[in-house]
Chains A and B, each alone.
Chain A
Amino acid sequence: MTARRADIEVHAKGQTSLWGLFPMVVVQIALFVVPIAIMFVYSFWTTQNYQVIREWTLANYLVFFESWTYPSVLFRTLWMSAVITVATLCFAYPFAYWIARYTQRWQKILLGAVVLSFWTSGLLRAYAWMALLGHGGIINKSLMQVGLIDEPLSFLLYNPFPVILVMTYFSLPFAAITIFASLEKMDWTLVDAAADLGSNPTKTFWFITLPQTLPGVISAAILTFVPLMGMFFVPLLVGNPSSAMIAPLVANLMQAFQLGLGAAMSFIVALVVMIIIAAAWRYIRFERV
């Protein structure tokens, strides 16, 4: 094949692959770029007495930053999301490791069981947790019946603990499946080689397994962290009224027709999330290099 012909073929292939990207680009624009653009535009408009004032202003962003109310809730949301992400990874990693390493026969069934929880509405699952954790819930009733406690345990509901517990439960399948995928692709002969050379299991995990699966762990962290930032109903249903998170406040504003301020808050949250993803993405690429 001449160099000229090869050039033409590569060029043609490039064109074909670009056209192949077209549906994805359309979907990306429709579902990502356009909504963000709408939100961005609205964040510079205000509302007055249920009328949208289409005059460009930074007023909504100033409202966000002029008092400590919204930044403090945003920081609390970031902190809670980080704690829940760590908790999720702590449960998801050993679980995924166990499935990948020790359950050859039952692997598909166990993975199916992980996905099964998605079949029920998230709201219903949150209500089910309330039925378990409430003052009149199964846990408190059982403990009282066997005489272990006289009064219901108040920390089980309407506290940070149930928020962490329930949101970890919600995030676990996303993280477990992502980590499982990276464990599946891992070169396990290196683990066996390390063992043959006298490395103990802890050392092998830290120096062989974890570095190989770190991109998967970071992907799992992103997949966990991002939805947590926008989680709306769990903090409302099981959380403490004094520990508000940002999504319910945005929802309040939208419901009260404060579209500009709601959009500005959403955009600030989206921006923070995008910065975190960009940082994580950069780390993944760096790791690959």
Chain B
Amino acid sequence: MAKLPTRRGFIGGAAAAGMVAGAGISGLPRRAHAAGTVNWLAWGGHVEPAGIKDFFDKTGIRVNHIGMGGNAETFAKLKLSGTSQYDLFEADGLWPLRYHQEGFIEPIDLESLPNVAKNMHPEFKKIPALQVEGGKMLMVPWGWNPTLLVYNKKKVTTPPTSYEALLDPKYKGRVGFSDQHEFMWPVAAMLLGIDNPFKMNKEQLNRAKDVLIRIKRNAPTITKGWNEQLRLYVEETVWIGMSSPGRALTIQTSGGPPMGTETPKEGYYGWIDGDILVKGAANKEAALKWIDYIHTPEYVARNFKRLQRGTANRAGAELLKSQGDSELVTANLMDQPGIALKMRLIEAPANPEDYAAAWNEVMAAT
């Protein structure tokens, strides 16, 4: 006999649906059962409309892109509404482990995808933390970047060697401060000598919060995404902050000042993002075909020329070089995949309630 939903279950379900809407999550995907369709929950920057069209022309498979927010927001969305509406979604760093714990993921044998097997840097095919049984990967790596200190060479005349520079009163109103807390907690933790920024206890989190508040007081604004950061560096509103070597080059080539990049003595974090196959995806075969397609050198070159950051795809980087974009490849470390494996990666916080409360206190602080 079919089990009737309980009153509590009904309230919970209705409330969950309401909360999804309340959190500003919009753009409902089409149902995943539609034949020849891939429902791809992905960051907008990864989408090349010309590639989607070409893929459709070649395979008859439609790619339905659904815009994605941050890692925690996406995790919340999938927890509340389930994964059945999607075939593929994306994540950063060690977040795939969190999804794996929840049973959302079907690991992928990267060697079974011809373009991935042939074109990807070997280092990215076997990232130890993201590998599971039988050598399968939880995520198909796409882009990556270390997060280092970047600075305006005209205004910051002594190259900064430590995150301490972000607290320096002489840079008041000139420091970049991102709304991506995953990249801000490591700065505070490393300044305090705390080993794992994502496993801080309440006392450590409290101290880290105070450090971030001090950095925030040096910032003109809290930046929302790369485009805003780029504008602030180009206009010379912001002189120093955290980003990648490739993006320092982008600032210069966009008419900004000469930029420098330094590795902080405290260490650094970074990210590797990629695509994840939903466990029991309704359109699994089509989804795998799409992943394989985006790892063609042509799609990769087009996307990374626009995005300007590191790629996990060797053939794509080589195509960019052959197209005369060697400077872009070098600045974005596309030919040095070994660096990606040395980076410490962002991850899901162990105690998200404490992190969310602490971050809100950073945001609310005067």
- Chain A residues with Cβ under 8 A from B16's Cβ? 52
* Bound-state Cα–Cα, A243 to B361, Å: 12
In the complex, which residues 233-268 of chain A have their Cβ closer than 8 Å to any Cβ of chain B? Answer: 236-237, 239-244, 248-249, 251-259, 261-263, 266
* Bound-state Cα–Cα, A136 to B220, Å: 14
Is A49 an interface position by the 8 A CB rule? Answer: yes
A/B interface sample: 21 pairs, CB < 8 A: A38-B15, A38-B18, A42-B19, A48-B353, A50-B76, A63-B357, A73-B364, A134-B235, A136-B234, A136-B235, A236-B222, A241-B221, A242-B217, A251-B23, A252-B363, A253-B356, A254-B24, A255-B76, A256-B352, A257-B352, A261-B356
Nearest-neighbour CB distance to chain A for B347, whole angstroms, equals: 14
Contact A252 B22, beta carbon cutoff 8 Å = no
Nearest-neighbour CB distance to chain B for A60, whole angstroms, equals: 11
Contact with B along A20-59 (1 / 0, CB 8 A): 0000000000000011001101100011111010100000
Question: Which of the 9-residue segments B6-14, B108-116, B296-304, B320-328 touches chain A?
Answer: B6-14
- Chain A residues with Cβ under 8 A from B231's Cβ? 134, 136
- Chain B residues with Cβ under 8 A from A134's Cβ? 231, 235, 237
The residue that B79 contacts in the complex, of A249, A257, A263, with Cβ under 8 A, is A257
- Chain A residues with Cβ under 8 A from B258's Cβ? none
Size category of the B interface is 35 or more
Nearest-neighbour CB distance to chain A for B349, whole angstroms, equals: 9
The residue that B235 contacts in the complex, of A35, A67, A135, with Cβ under 8 A, is A135
Is A2 an interface position by the 8 A CB rule? Answer: no
Is A158 an interface position by the 8 A CB rule? Answer: yes
Is A72 an interface position by the 8 A CB rule? Answer: yes
* Bound-state Cα–Cα, A239 to B366, Å: 12
Contact B366 A256, beta carbon cutoff 8 Å = no
Contact B75 A257, beta carbon cutoff 8 Å = yes
Total A-B contacts with CB atoms under 8 angstroms apart: 121
Is B365 an interface position by the 8 A CB rule? Answer: yes
> Which 5 A-B residue pairings sit nearest by Cβ, starting from the closest?
A136-B235, A256-B356, A254-B23, A257-B76, A38-B18
Given contacts A38-B15, A50-B79, whether A255 and B70 have CB atoms under 8 Å apart is: yes
- Chain A residues with Cβ under 8 A from B168's Cβ? none
Is A70 an interface position by the 8 A CB rule? Answer: yes
- Chain B residues with Cβ under 8 A from A54's Cβ? 8, 12
Contact A47 B72, beta carbon cutoff 8 Å = no
Chain A residues with a Cβ closer than 8 Å to the other chain, count: 49
In the complex, which residues 217-252 of chain B have their Cβ closer than 8 Å to any Cβ of chain A? Answer: 217, 219-222, 224, 231, 234-237
- Chain B residues with Cβ under 8 A from A152's Cβ? 237
Contact A49 B364, beta carbon cutoff 8 Å = no
Contact B360 A69, beta carbon cutoff 8 Å = yes
Is B198 an interface position by the 8 A CB rule? Answer: no
Taking beta carbons and an 8 Å cutoff, which residues of A are in contact with B? Answer: 34-35, 38-39, 41-42, 46-50, 52, 54, 63, 67, 69-70, 72-73, 134-136, 152, 154, 157-158, 236-237, 239-244, 248-249, 251-259, 261-263, 266
Is B144 an interface position by the 8 A CB rule? Answer: no
Nearest-neighbour CB distance to chain A for B251, whole angstroms, equals: 13
In the complex, which residues 1-51 of chain B have their Cβ closer than 8 Å to any Cβ of chain A? Answer: 8, 11-12, 14-16, 18-19, 22-24
Given contacts A241-B222, A254-B23, A255-B73, whether A249 and B235 have CB atoms under 8 Å apart is: no
Is B122 an interface position by the 8 A CB rule? Answer: no
Contact B19 A243, beta carbon cutoff 8 Å = no
* Bound-state Cα–Cα, A251 to B23, Å: 6
Is B264 an interface position by the 8 A CB rule? Answer: no
* Bound-state Cα–Cα, A106 to B224, Å: 42
- Chain A residues with Cβ under 8 A from B361's Cβ? 67, 69
- Chain A residues with Cβ under 8 A from B124's Cβ? none
Q: Report whether over half of chain B's contact residues are helix, strand or loop; otherwise say mixed.
A: helix
In the complex, which residues 307-366 of chain B have their Cβ closer than 8 Å to any Cβ of chain A? Answer: 351-353, 355-357, 359-361, 363-366
Q: Which of A49, A255, A263 has the most CB of B within 10 A?
A: A255
Given contacts A236-B224, A242-B365, A248-B363, whether A255 and B18 have CB atoms under 8 Å apart is: no
Contact A42 B360, beta carbon cutoff 8 Å = no
Given contacts A35-B18, A50-B76, A257-B75, whether A244 and B363 have CB atoms under 8 Å apart is: yes
- Chain A residues with Cβ under 8 A from B351's Cβ? 49
The chain B residue sitting closest to A252, CB to CB, is: B360
* Bound-state Cα–Cα, A22 to B177, Å: 52
* Bound-state Cα–Cα, A154 to B220, Å: 9
- Chain B residues with Cβ under 8 A from A248's Cβ? 363
Q: Which of B19, B24, B173 has the most CB of A within 10 A?
A: B19
* Bound-state Cα–Cα, A41 to B238, Å: 44
Is B125 an interface position by the 8 A CB rule? Answer: no
In the complex, which residues 186-201 of chain B have their Cβ closer than 8 Å to any Cβ of chain A? Answer: none
Is B65 an interface position by the 8 A CB rule? Answer: no
The residue that B364 contacts in the complex, of A38, A46, A72, A236, with Cβ under 8 A, is A72
* Bound-state Cα–Cα, A251 to B76, Å: 13
Nearest-neighbour CB distance to chain A for B43, whole angstroms, equals: 15
Is B216 an interface position by the 8 A CB rule? Answer: yes
Q: Which of A34, A41, A46, A243 has the most CB of B within 10 A?
A: A41
* Bound-state Cα–Cα, A236 to B223, Å: 9
Is B69 an interface position by the 8 A CB rule? Answer: yes
Nearest-neighbour CB distance to chain B for A144, whole angstroms, equals: 12
Contact B236 A50, beta carbon cutoff 8 Å = no
Nearest-neighbour CB distance to chain B for A265, whole angstroms, equals: 9
Contact B19 A249, beta carbon cutoff 8 Å = no
- Chain B residues with Cβ under 8 A from A49's Cβ? 351-353
